[in-house]
C-alpha cells in the first residue's frame, strides 16, 4: 500500500513562499510517483519479469511534464484551507499525472504520433523492442497492441492512486469530480475524432460550436477546472467554493486551449519544439480554423490543404495568410482575452487566502501568455 510522501514542512508560507511550496509539492509528487512505480515493479515482477516493459513505458511519461494539473489540484486544496504539507493532494496529483500519461499513450496510438516529448512514443518503444529482438509477426501491430495495454494499465494505476488519496476522509465529492472528468475527456476525444471525420461537411456555425464544445470538454475542464475542483473537494470545499473555482478555471482552460490552437498554427518551431504549422498538417478543426473557414475567403482551397501531411512551407504560409486575412486570428485572440478577463475577474472574487490566490494568478498568467 502506498504511503505517500507529504511535502516536508520547512516552515513559512507567506505569498513569497509560493515557489518554495510548489517546489516542495513537485518533489513530493516525484517521490510518490517513484515509490508507486517501485511497488508496481514488485507486483509485475511477481507475474513475470517480461511484463516489466509495460511499467518502464509508463515511467517515460510520468517522469516529466509541467505537472500543471497536479499543481492546480494542490492550489485547489490550499485555497480550500488544506494544509501546505499533506499527503492527499500529492496522491491525487499523482493520480492526475498517471491519468494524463494514460491519455497520452492512447492519444499517440490514435494520432499515430511517433514521438512524445522528444522520445519515441509508447507504441514506438514497443515496436522498436520487437524489431530489435527480431520477433515474429508485425512489429507495428505489436507496438500498438502493447501500447493499448500499457495505457489501460496506466488508467488502472491512476484509479488505484486516486482512491488512496481519500483513504482517510470521505471522498464522495472528489470521486464524483474524478469520474466526471474521465468521462468528459473520453467523450471529448471521441467528438474530436468525429470532427476530423465529418470534416468539411458542415456549416461554419455548426463547426465553430463543435470546436468550442470539444475544447471545453477535452481540454478546459480536464486540464484546469477539474484538477482545481478535485483538490478543493479533497479539502472539504463546499458547493459554493467549488462553483467559484469553476468560474475561474473553466474560462481559463478555454483561453489556455485557444492559445494552444493559435500556437499550433502560428507558433515558432524553435520555441514550441514542433514543426511550423503542425496542426495544419494534422488537419485539426479548431475554433480558429472553423472561424477562418466561415469568414469568406476561399474555404474550398483551405479545405483542400488542411490535413495534407505533406504540406510544404509555402502552403503553410498560404494558410496562415488566409487565416489572418479572414480575421479569424484577431477574433480568436480577442476571445482569448475575453476568456482570460473572465477568469481573472472570477479569481478576484474567489474567497481564498492571499497566497493561494496569488499562486493561481501566476499559474493563470503562465497558461494564457505562453509562447510554447
Interface contacts to a second copy, rule CB under 8 A = 1, 40, 43-44, 47-48, 50-51, 54, 102, 106, 109-110, 130, 133, 135-137, 142, 145-146, 148-153, 155-156, 159-160, 163, 167, 172, 175-176, 179-180, 182-184, 186-191, 193-194, 196-201, 210, 213, 217, 307
Closer residue to a second copy, CB minimum distance, 189 or 332: 189
- Residue 300's Cα: distance from chain center in Å? 32
- Separation between Cα atoms, residue 182 and residue 64, nearest integer Å: 21
* Spatial separation of the C-alpha atoms in residues 278 and 271, rounded to whole Å: 13
Nearer to a second copy, 144 or 249 (CB): 144
Collapsing DSSP states into helix, strand and coil, what is residue 115? strand
Closest approach, Cβ 121 to a second copy, in A, equals 14
Least distance between a second copy and beta carbon 109 (Å)? 6
Q: Nearest approach, Cβ of 241 to a second copy (angstroms)?
A: 21
Nearer to a second copy, 51 or 338 (CB): 51
DSSP secondary structure letters along 294-318 = HSSS-HHHHHHHTT-TT--HHHHHH
Residues 6+ apart with CB under 8 A from 239: none
Which is closer to a second copy, CB of 200 or CB of 236?
A: 200
Q: For a second copy, which is the closer residue by CB, 41 or 362?
A: 41
Q: How far apart (Å, rounded) are the C-alpha atoms in residues 261 and 273?
A: 15
Q: Residue 102 or residue 343: which is nearer to a second copy going by CB?
A: 102
The DSSP bridge partners found for residue 119 are 116
Helix axes 239-266, 226-234, angle to 10 degrees: 150
Helices 139-165/52-62 angle, 10° precision: 70
Reading the block at residue 317, the C-alpha cell is 504560409
CB of 353 to a second copy, least distance (A): 32
CB of 299 to a second copy, least distance (A): 15
- Rg (C-alpha) for the chain, rounded Å, is 21
Q: How far is the CB of 338 from a second copy (least distance, A)?
A: 23
Amino acid at each position: 500500500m502506498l504511503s505517500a510522501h507529504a511535502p516536508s514542512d520547512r516552515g513559512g508560507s507567506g505569498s513569497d513562499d509560493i515557489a518554495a511550496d510548489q517546489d516542495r509539492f513537485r518533489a513530493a509528487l516525484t517521490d510518490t510517483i517513484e515509490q508507486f512505480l517501485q511497488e508496481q515493479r514488485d507486483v509485475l515482477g511477481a507475474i513475470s519479469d517480461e511484463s516489466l516493459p509495460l511499467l518502464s513505458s509508463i515511467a517515460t511519461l510520468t517522469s516529466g511534464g509541467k505537472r500543471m494539473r497536479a499543481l492546480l489540484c494542490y492550489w485547489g486544496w490550499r485555497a480550500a484551507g488544506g494544509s501546505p504539507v499533506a499527503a492527499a493532494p500529492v496522491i491525487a496529483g499523482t493520480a492526475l499525472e498517471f491519468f494524463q500519461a494514460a491519455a497520452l499513450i492512447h492519444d499517440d496510438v490514435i494520432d499515430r504520433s511517433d514521438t512524445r516529448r522528444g522520445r519515441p512514443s509508447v507504441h514506438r518503444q514497443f515496436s522498436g523492442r520487437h524489431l530489435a529482438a527480431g520477433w515474429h509477426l508485425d512489429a507495428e501491430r505489436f507496438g500498438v497492441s502493447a501500447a493499448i495495454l500499457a495505457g489501460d494499465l496506466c488508467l488502472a494505476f491512476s484509479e488505484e492512486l486516486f482512491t488512496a488519496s481519500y483513504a482517510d476522509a470521505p471522498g464522495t465529492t472528489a470521486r464524483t469530480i474524478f469520474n466526471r472528468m474521465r468521462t468528459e475527456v473520453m467523450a471529448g476525444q471521441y467528438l474530436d475524432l468525429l470532427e476530423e471525420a465529418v470534416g468539411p461537411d458542415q456549416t461554419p456555425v455548426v463547426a465553430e460550436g463543435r470546436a468550442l464544445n470539444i475544447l471545453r470538454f477535452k481540454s478546459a475542464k480536464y486540464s484546469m477546472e477539474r484538477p482545481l475542483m478535485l483538490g478543493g473537494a479533497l479539502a472539504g470545499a463546499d458547493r459554493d467554493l467549488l462553483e467559484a473555482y469553476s468560474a475561474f478555471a473553466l474560462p481559463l482552460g478555454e483561453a489556455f486551449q485557444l492559445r494552444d490552437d493559435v500556437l499550433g498554427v502560428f507558433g515558432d518551431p524553435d520555441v514550441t519544439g514542433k514543426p511550423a504549422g503542425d496542426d495544419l498538417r494534422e488537419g485539426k478543426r479548431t475554433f480558429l480554423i472553423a472561424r477562418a473557414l466561415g469568414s469568406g475567403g476561399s474555404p474550398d482551397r483551405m479545405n483542400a490543404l488542411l490535413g495534407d501531411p505533406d504540406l510544404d512551407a509555402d502552403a503553410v504560409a498560404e494558410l496562415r495568410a488566409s487565416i489572418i486575412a479572414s480575421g479569424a486570428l484577431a477574433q480568436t485572440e480577442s476571445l482569448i482575452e475575453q476568456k482570460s478577463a473572465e477568469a481573472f475577474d472570477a479569481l478576484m472574487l474567489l474567497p481564498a487566502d492571499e497566497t493561494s490566490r496569488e499562486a493561481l494568478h501566476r499559474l493563470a498568467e503562465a497558461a494564457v501568455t505562453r509562447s510554447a
